[in-house]
Structure 1
């Protein structure tokens, strides 16, 4: 429901965000789940929301559903997009702990995780992620880790 996709190798059709997939039944369950790849929807199989869907419905919207509260559809779609970004940043920063970080790098990594944390449960903080400086700060920090990551490949 929430995501858009374009017809191509991964999706058999075009679909706009907020428009139900034609493969959903009346209860919004996938009718081709067992044959997604065969039916041209390998993108559905490969998609990973990184836990964003669960966090949005459980933590941001107090387990409310857009199906029961249709006015929540657009805010939940927006929150899912934002939460995927937050979850991606968290995943990258958590993975960075496996690198041989200097003390200042580890302090920065911890600081960035701390700054991300409010967005996991607070709608206002989540909304600020998209327009605020945090994604750029995380990206800049991750760039500084390239030498450490390259050293692991040797």
Structure 2
């Protein structure tokens, strides 16, 4: 698996105490079949912390679960921060564990982006700064439960984001021409079939239910882009920047969709 898809930065449910199934709340909707409060175990969570309907989440009304990835925060909090002792074994730690989990999830997301940036040859002029930022975030991630519970992640993001922006500019400049900027654009439901978006800046763009069939998304910055129900059938995402598995899982696609190395083709996509 390439360095940018480090397995430590992807969820490992076998080494987690089902934290996303307990710590996070969700409301009854198209994504979740029931209401659940923070700190309340999902009704599908088994005693071994496994999901009882993992292979049938979508038909059972839990589509939201299939598009979530903790970026490895679950196993980090379970096995490192709390030393392998679960909230069932030590109920007095439950509240703090649930508070720490989303903090570490945000830190791991930053680690995921920084790790990817360091693997990009075009970003070599920034590698020293990126390595320093990576080390800083790793140090924070390894903090005590008390330190992590009190940590404000916003300033950390503010420190990392300019580096990721500069990385994006360096990489997208290799695409040639004048890359389009649609940062934060409202493209909900837009017909972008066959669009030439090579090297475009689509950071934070709303692409919900957009038709991107056959679109050229090579070297496109997709950090934070909302791809829910976007049709990526036949699209080319080779070299797409800061794309995550949850983004792909929330979209639609097919066997002709070209993905960057290291990504899994979602099982609900069409042949």
1:83–1:120 Cα contact (<8 Å) kept: yes
**What is the CA distance between 1:106 and its match in structure 2?**
1.4
**What is the CA distance between 1:20 and its match in structure 2?**
1.5
Give the match's secondary structure for 1:101. helix
**Gap change, CA 1:138 and 1:91, over 3 Å in 2:** same
Q: How does 1:59-74 map to 2 (within 5 A)?
A: 59-74=80-95
User: Given the alignment of the two structures, is residue 150 of structure 1 paired with residue 198 of structure 2, yes or no?
Assistant: no
Instruction: Specify the alignment match of 2:129 in structure 1.
Output: 108
User: Given the alignment of the two structures, is residue 44 of structure 1 paired with residue 65 of structure 2, yes or no?
Assistant: yes
Q: How does 1:19-30 map to 2 (within 5 A)?
A: 19-25=40-46, 28-30=49-51
Name the CA distance, whole Å, in 2 between partners of 1:90 and 1:126: 16
What TM-score does the superposition give when structure 1 sets the normalisation length?
0.86
Name the CA distance, whole Å, in 2 between partners of 1:21 and 1:74: 16
1:118–1:125 Cα contact (<8 Å) kept: no
What TM-score does the superposition give when structure 2 sets the normalisation length?
0.51
Considering fraction of residues, name the structure with more helix.
Answer: 1
Ranges in structure 1 where 5+ consecutive residues have no aligned partner: none
**What is the CA distance between 1:19 and its match in structure 2?**
0.9
**What is the CA distance between 1:26 and its match in structure 2?**
5.3
Ranges in structure 2 where 5+ consecutive residues have no aligned partner: 1-21, 176-197, 200-271
Instruction: Specify the alignment match of 2:26 in structure 1.
Output: 5
2:103–2:153 Cα contact (<8 Å) kept: no
1:86–1:116 Cα contact (<8 Å) kept: yes
**Gap change, CA 1:132 and 1:43, over 3 Å in 2:** closer
Q: Which has the higher contact order (CA 8 A, sep 6+)?
A: 1
Aligned length: 153
Give the match's secondary structure for 1:133. helix
User: Given the alignment of the two structures, is residue 53 of structure 1 paired with residue 74 of structure 2, yes or no?
Assistant: yes
